Amino acid sequence: MVSHVDVFEDRDTEDSTSSSGRSGPSADRGRVVRHLLTPDEAAGAFTLAKTCAEAYPNAHDEGFLADAPVLAHDLPSSVRRAANAARLDDRKHAFVVSGNTVEPWLEPTPAVWRDADTVASGPYGFLLVLYAALLGDPIGWGTQQDGRIVTDVLPVRGLEHSLVSASSERELGWHTEDAFSENRADHVGLFCLRDRGDIPTTLSCADPASLPQDVVRVLAQKRFTIHPDPSHSAPADSAHGREKVALLSGPGDAPVLRIDRDFTVADEDDPEAVRAMDALIEHLDGNTYEVVLGAGDVCFIDNRNVVHGRRPFRASFDGKDRWLKRVNVVTDLRRTRAERPTATSRVVG
C-alpha cells in the first residue's frame, strides 16, 4: 500500500493522514515536518551561504567544516529552533526547510556528478552544510564521488536502470543510507535545486508492534549481511559486507532500522532469518509513502528511523533534469574516527 504525503507546513504538527485526507497504515506517517522560511529569512540564509563561498575555497574545505557550527548561528533563529526540535525528536522521519532561494539562472543540470561542483552551484552546497551543522557534523566517503563532503544526485545517461541514485527509469529501492557501515549517517540531507515533474522520494518505517514477535526477535540478532552498493568504489579486500548485522535495534517505540532492499541477504542455510527478512521487506513495502521535494526544499531524512528511495522517471538529459545536493550527517563525529585518516578529516574510508 502506498500513499502520497505532502510535507506539512505546521512547524510542530504530527499527523497520521495525508493532505488528501486518506489515512495511512502507520500512525508515524505524519512525522515529516516542514519549516517554511519567510522570503526575508530565505534571503538572509542565502546571503550567508554566498559569504561563506567567498571566504572558503569550497564546501568540502576542512576549515569551513570546522567553522560551520559557529557560522550556522547566523541562520534565522526560527530555523535554528525548528532544527533543534527535530534533533531531539527520536521518532521523526524527516525535517524539511522550505522556501530556500534557488536563483532562476541556476546552471543546467550537469551530465555527471564530476561537473557539478562549480562556482555557480557552490553557495547551495555551503547552505546545505550550514543547515546540516544544526543537526551534527557532515562526513563524506573516500569511496564515493572522490571523497566530496557535498555530493550530487542527478540522472546519468547509461545508468538509467542501475541500482544507484544516478538511475532514472528504474526505481531506486528503499534503503538505509550506507547500511553496510557502522559509520553510516544519522541524517541524510538533500537540497533540491531542480525537480522536473514532482518526482517523489519514498519513505518507510518499521513498527515492531505490528510484526510477529518471533520475527522481531530474529531481526534483532546478527544474522544478516549488507553489501556496499555500486556507488562505493570499495577495494576488493574491504571488510564491509562480510560481518553479520542485526536489522532492528533500540527500543520498541523508537526502533533503529538498518537494511538495503537490494543489498541485504540472509543465508539460505538460515531459513528462520530468510523468513524474518522477507516479513520485514513486506512490512516496509506496506508502509511506504511518498514525499515530493520541490526546488528550494532542504530535507534531512532520519537515517536511523526510516529507509528512503525514489520513484522512477524518464530523464531528458537536456540540462533541466532533477538535481539535488546531498550530505551525510553524524550526531557523534568521534564514532567515525577509526575510519578517518586524521582528526580534522571528514572523509570516512
What's the pLDDT at 8? Answer: 40
Q: Distance between CA 80 and CA 102 in Å, rounded?
A: 20
- Per-residue model confidence as pLDDT tens digits over 318-334: 999 999 999 999 999 99
pLDDT above 60 (res 272): yes
**What's the pTM value of the predicted model, to 2 decimals?**
0.91
Q: What is the pLDDT of residues 222-251, one digit of tens each?
A: 999 999 998 887 654 455 557 999 999 999
DSSP state of 31: -
Model confidence band, residue 41 (pLDDT cutoffs 50, 70, 90): very high
∠ CA 322-325-329 to the nearest 5 degrees? 140
- Would you say 328 and 140 are in contact if contact means Cβ atoms under 8 Å apart? yes
- Which residue from 120, 114, 85, 76 is spatially nearest to 102, judged by alpha carbons? 120
Asked which of 63-72, 180-189, 232-241, 265-274 is least confident by mean pLDDT, the reply is: 232-241
**Looking at residue 14, what is its pLDDT?**
39
| pLDDT score recorded for residue 232 | 84
Non-local (6+) Cβ contacts of 97 within 8 A are 34, 35, 37, 79, 82, 83, 131, 297, 298
Asked if residue 208 has pLDDT above 70, the reply is yes
Q: Report yes or no: 202 and 311 within 8 Å, Cβ to Cβ.
A: yes
| pLDDT tens, position by position, 243-271 | 999 999 999 889 999 999 999 999 999 99
Q: Which set of grid coordinates corresponds to residue 86?
A: 527535530
| pLDDT exceeds cutoff 80 at 117 | no
pLDDT of residue 165: 94
Q: What average pLDDT is seen over the chain?
A: 90
Question: Cβ neighbours of residue 236 under 8 Å, at least 6 residues apart?
Answer: none
Q: 12 pLDDT band (50/70/90 cuts)?
A: very low
- The residues, ordered by sequence, that sit 6+ positions from 197 with a Cβ below 8 Å of its Cβ are 313, 322
Domains parsed from the chain with CATH numbers: 3-206+289-348 (3.60.130.10)
pLDDT tens readout for residues 129-156: 999 999 999 999 999 999 999 999 999 9
pLDDT of 238 reads: 53
Residue 109, H or E segment: none
Percent of the chain whose predicted confidence (pLDDT) is above 70: 89
CA distance 297 to 300: 10
Pick from 23-27, 171-175, 216-220, 320-324: least confident: 23-27
Mean pLDDT of 168-173: 96
